[in-house]
Amino acid sequence: MKKNVILSSVAVAMLLFSGCSTNKPTVDETSKTTAQTVVTPALESSSINSNSNSGATVASDASAAENAANNAASNSGSTAEDIAKNMTSVYFDFDKFDIREDMKANVTNDVNVAKAAAAAYSVKLEGNCDEWGSDEYNMALGLKRAQAVKTGLISEGVDAARISMVSLGKSAPVCTDKTKECWSKNRRVDFKLLP
């Protein structure tokens, strides 16, 4: 019996140790090649190079709609941006997208602005997240927050057709400190007014 146990132990130890051995990379010592070649066409293509520091960079249509809204409103004395300042951001808990009790007054205030001073504008809801994650799920979380606010606006009488949504994820933080207070400021929905 003892002998069997010893033999088994030896076998186990040998198996485990054999896993530690390494093979050297296979090297064909006989091959000796000479090649005249160029770098792959993808590298050689002028796609990146010819455009460097010039027109290749695509300038985006950033905030064109917001600018148009402000231009249109400037004739009436107060810009869309001014009116939007009267709308209060709605803040959310970590990993949540339901509207907290203490945020319901904010939504009511936003409804009042949307139905009065901002009645001539469309309302764009921008959902935001804290810095934990830049993946699609986090973007979806920002969207669900915007959707919760949209539902709140509609339930208090704002026309759904006036409301659009976008999730910005963690792309537009108002605070970049590494504190819980800072992160809580970024879990929010902001308002923009569009013509």
Partner 1 sequence: MRILLNLFFFIALAFGADGSIEVVKKVDTLPSLAIEDGTTAYDDSLKKSFFKTLVSDVNVLSFFNVDHHPYSTQFDNTSVVLENKDKEYVIRYKIFEDSDKTFNVSMKILQKSVLVKTKNYKIKNKNLYVFVAHAMAYDLNEYMGGEPVEWMKRKVLISRLVSSGQSEIVVCDYTLTFSQRIVKGGINLFPRWANNEQTKFYYTSLNGRRPLLKEVEIATGKTSDILSSDGMMICSDVSADGKKLLVTMAPEGQPDIYLYDVAVKKSTRLTTFQGIDVNGQFMSNNRVAFISNRLGYPNLFSLTIGSNAVQQLVFSGKSNSSCSAFNDNVVYKARESSDVFEANTFNLHLISTQNGSVRRLTANGVNEFPRFSREGDAVLYVQESSQQSSIGVIRLKFNKNFLFPLIYGKIQSIDW
Distance in Å, CB of 105 to partner 1, minimum = 23
C-beta of residue 108 within 8 angstroms of C-beta of residue 148? no
User: What's the CA angle centered on 86, arms 181 and 117, to 5 degrees?
Assistant: 155
Contact window for partner 1 (CB under 8 A) among 70-78, 81-89, 108-116, 166-174: 166-174
Does residue 100 interact with partner 1 by CB under 8 A? no
Closest to partner 1 by CB, 53 or 77:
53
Check if the beta carbon of residue 111 is closer than 8 Å to that of residue 159.
no
Site for partner 1 in 172-191 (CB under 8 A): 172-174, 176, 178, 180
Residue from the set 17, 75, 101, 161 that interacts with partner 1 by CB under 8 A: 17
Report if residue 1 touches partner 1, rule: CB under 8 A: no
For residue 36, the tally of other CB atoms under 10 A from its CB is 4
Q: Is residue 77 close enough to count as binding partner 1 by CB under 8 A?
A: no
**11 Cβ contact list (under 8 Å, min separation 6):** none
